[in-house]
Amino acid sequence: MRFHWGWIEPVMPVPYVPTLGPARWGDPLHELLEAVVDVAGTGRFLPHDKDRRWGDTKTERILVDAIEHGQEQTLVPTLLERGRGVVKVHVYGAAPDSLTAGADLARKLAAVHGAARARIVWFLDADQPDAYAQGTRVQLKDFTAGTGDAPGVPVQEYKELPEGAGFGAFAAAMAEDGFAFLHGQMQAGTVGPVLTVLHDGMVAGAIGPMETMPDARGYARLLPQYFGVLPQCRGRGYGRALWRAAMHWGHQRGAAYQLLQTEVGGASDRLCRAEGLSSLGFVNQADV
């Protein structure tokens, strides 16, 4: 499968590649799109795929034979084989019926592959109002301008915590934010450092794992992290301190940038906006 970049580029308001996620403008998006098609169904990771740190096999693949590629719109379906399965159709198109076409294809493919959920993914550029968004904002932290402000409260790595600081209890309380999974990975020794902040001697917030990976052009990028503060400890500046400490960590280790997806209007979204990150646009999702 080969794509006509002149057809896709005008209807790609956000630099986003199915199964890989967001990229930067200026990245080789055409080559990345064709690369994920080339490895579809093999279970292999591309060298720059951020999901490599979580397993040995790629669990989301493009359904190559079901791609619909035309001058006005391109529909790129994927199948996530983890759990009961999810079919997602990524809609690149400005035609009035593009989302309808994507939804029809998603439902059809979910039935064919026995997936429990069918979903459409579509994109809005950064100039669109937040009220139009139904998902996440893609945000870019550029480290060429420096690290930014220092944390306002002490932050320390998990391995430096005093005995009895209660990271396990924190992880259990924040399981819905992914920290129970992360704690398991930490105990197995398979991930990088995790930064923490304490309240009355107990873990109140954390961000991690802290890891970098070369992108498709060889630039080091700081990978996305799990990030959260206990509800009862919010409003004390802990989240901002963790975020700033993470940015210092990335800058000190040579990261050129970080890409994040934050829930529009959520606490992380507001924090990143306040910290001066650039918006690359919106990634919207809806079950159909």
Q: Which domain holds residue 45?
A: 5-124
The whole-angstrom separation of Cα 186 and Cα 168 is: 11
Assess if residue 275 is contained within a domain: yes
Q: Are residues 146 and 275 in the same domain?
A: yes
CA atoms within 13 A on the CB side of 145: 11
Domain match, 158 and 60 both = no
Does residue 1 have a pLDDT over 80? Answer: no
Please tell me the distance from the alpha carbon of residue 138 to that of residue 136, in angstroms, as a whole number.
6
- 10 and 75 part of one domain: yes
Mean pLDDT of 44-61: 94
What confidence score (pLDDT) does residue 200 get? 96
Please check whether residue 20 lies inside any domain of the structure. yes
**Section 184-195 average pLDDT:** 94
pLDDT band with cut points at 50, 70 and 90 for residue 208: very high
List the one residue out of 23, 283, 279, 284 whose CA is nearest residue 139: 279
- Is 64 in the same domain as 180? no
Q: Mean pLDDT over residues 227-246, rounded?
A: 96
pLDDT at 82 (0 to 100): 86
Mean pLDDT of 130-152: 90
Q: Taking residues 98-106, what's their average pLDDT?
A: 97
**Do 146 and 270 sit in the same domain of this protein?**
yes
Q: 135 lies in a domain? A: no
Q: What is the pLDDT of residue 30?
A: 96
- CATH number, position 274: 3.40.630.30
Which of these three, 68, 94, 124, is where a domain ends? 124
At residue 146 the predicted structure's pLDDT band, cuts being 50, 70 and 90, is confident
**Average pLDDT estimate for 266-270:** 92
**Distance between CA atoms of residues 211 and 144, nearest Å:** 18
**What does the alpha-carbon distance between residue 156 and residue 148 come to, in Å, rounded to a whole number?**
18
- Give yes or no for residue 229 having a pLDDT over 80: yes
Residue-level pLDDT at 152? 86
Q: Looking at residue 147, what is its pLDDT?
A: 78
Q: Say if residue 194 is in the same domain as residue 246.
A: yes
Tell me the average pLDDT of the chain.
Answer: 95
For the cut 90, the answer to whether the pLDDT of residue 150 exceeds it is no
pLDDT of 202 above 90: yes
- Percentage above 90 pLDDT, the chain: 93
The pLDDT value given to residue 21: 97
Same domain, 153 and 268: yes
Residues 120 and 146 in one domain: no
CA–CA dist 270, 231 (Å, integer): 16
- 212 and 271 both lie in a single domain: yes
Where does a domain end: 124, 159, 194? 124
State the pLDDT at residue 80. Answer: 96
pLDDT > 70 fraction of the chain, expressed in percent and rounded: 100
Residue at 95 is within a domain: yes
On whether both 115 and 152 belong to a single domain, the answer is: no
In terms of domains, do 117 and 144 share one? no
Among 244, 225, 243, 173, CA closest to 204 = 173
User: Average of pLDDT values for 186-198?
Assistant: 95
pLDDT reported for residue 95: 84
How many structural domains are present in the chain? 2
Vertex 34, ends 6 and 25: CA angle to 5°?
60
Model pLDDT for residues 62-96, shown as the tens digit of each residue = 999 999 999 999 999 999 998 899 999 999 998 88
